[in-house]
Amino acid sequence: MRADRLLTLVGLLRQHGRLSAAELARRVEVTPRTVMRDIEALSLAGVPVFAERGRAGGYALVPGYTPDAEALTPDEARALFVAGGGQVADALGLGPAFAQGLRKLATGLPDAEAGAVGRTLDRIVIDPGGWSGKSAPVGALDELFEAVWSDRRLWIDYEALASGQGGRRTVDPWGLVLAGPTWYLVAAHRGRPHTFRVSRIRSFRVLEEAARRPARLDLRATWQELRSAWQEQPAYAVRIRVPREHVPITLRQIEFVARRPPVVEDGADGAAVVRVDVGTLRGAVGVLLGLGDWVEVLEPDDLRDQMAEVAARVGTLYG
């Protein structure tokens, strides 16, 4: 409905200060021409919205414009907007109601609170659909968020998932993402965005330098692009023979390296065959060897060879 859309536009301008017609159109899923008509309707209704020309221009509200509403503290406003995340509501079928409720709340916040809400939403994404993998203990998440919030650079010592090798680097933190049960830091290294699983950050230090953050950064869109690129990388198709009683624990373990959800099929002699795409054969070796002789790799041959080689080395070590 148009009334809901007008309310949405006011809420977005309250949160973000200034947005172009194209950006407003993208966020409310209409054309820029429709946005311009809506802005004109808001002006006729007495909402003090104005246009600024130029490359960095767009639409904004007159400073100090505050619809009547009961005051919230900055922390209360930030907590209400972040708690649960819009995608949690989507998963429960309450996405439209959740978004509409936040829009109603946003239009009545004072300038400082509205700005704080917009700043928080630009730096936090909650994605219950996740990526892959299990939850892991997360330490000092509040300190990481403080670095994100204050736009300060980070020095991190990171353990890469695929190689297990650590890497030390200075990054520009852009935001935090809760994907399923796992927290990720989205940060730029040498100007390019990357994701870092928070539980694999062995140590970090907040630097005094200001972080380099794009002026028009859309954290949710950046996260989705990074996740899509990761999911589209080449994967190795693996088939594993597993006794039925050991299927549940095998599925839990294989999630660490699975690119997509595993598929369980009926096999011979009452066993099951698990089909799964993994991103790294070496990672699959580590996971599957931990299950001992409960599982047998059927294919690919490269994985069978690596399993035998690593098992032989372990046997020699403890022989």
Contact yes or no for 300/262 (Cβ under 8 A): no
Which of 121, 148, 182 corresponds to the end of one domain? 121
Same domain, 8 and 76: yes
Pairing of strands 166-179, 124-127: parallel
Cα-atom radius of gyration of the chain, to the nearest Å? 25
Query: Averaged in consecutive runs of 10 residues, what is the pLDDT profile of the chain (319 residues)?
Result: 74 84 88 88 82 78 69 59 57 61 66 68 65 51 84 89 67 87 88 88 91 88 87 84 91 82 85 89 87 91 92 87
Given 203, 231, 259, the domain boundary residue is 231
Could you give the CA distance from residue 285 to residue 212 in angstroms, rounded to a whole number? 39
Same domain, 14 and 116: yes
Distance CA 10, CA 47 (A): 8
What's the total number of domains in the chain?
Answer: 3
Query: CA–CA separation, 271 vs 242, rounded Å?
Result: 6
Q: What integer pLDDT is reported at residue 149 of this predicted model? A: 86
Residues 203, 150 share a domain: yes
Say whether both 225 and 286 belong to one domain.
no
CATH of the domain at 33: 1.10.10
Indicate which CATH number applies to the domain containing 186.
Answer: 2.30.30
Backbone angles phi, psi at 45, to 5 degrees: -85, 0
Residue 191 and residue 136 share a domain:
yes
Please tell me the total number of residues recorded for the chain in this structure: 319
Residues 131 and 196 in one domain: yes
Alpha helices of 94-135 — where are they, by DSSP H?
A: 95-107, 111-121
- Please measure the distance between the N-terminal and C-terminal CA atoms of the chain and give it in whole angstroms: 73
What CATH number has the domain bearing residue 285?
3.30.70.120
CA 80 to chain centre: 19
Domain boundary among 187, 203, 231: 231
Domain span including residue 99: 2-121
List, in sequence order, every residue forming a beta bridge with 197; answer none if it has no partner: 184
- As beta bridge partners, residue 195 has 186
Judge if 204 and 240 occupy the same domain: no
Q: Clarify whether residues 73 and 183 are in a common domain.
A: no
If asked whether residues 137 and 36 sit together in one domain, one would say: no
Indicate whether this model's pTM tops 0.85.
no
Task: For the chain, list the strands marked E by DSSP.
Answer: 18-19, 49-52, 58-61, 124-127, 152-159, 166-179, 182-189, 192-197, 201-210, 236-242, 263-266, 272-278, 296-299
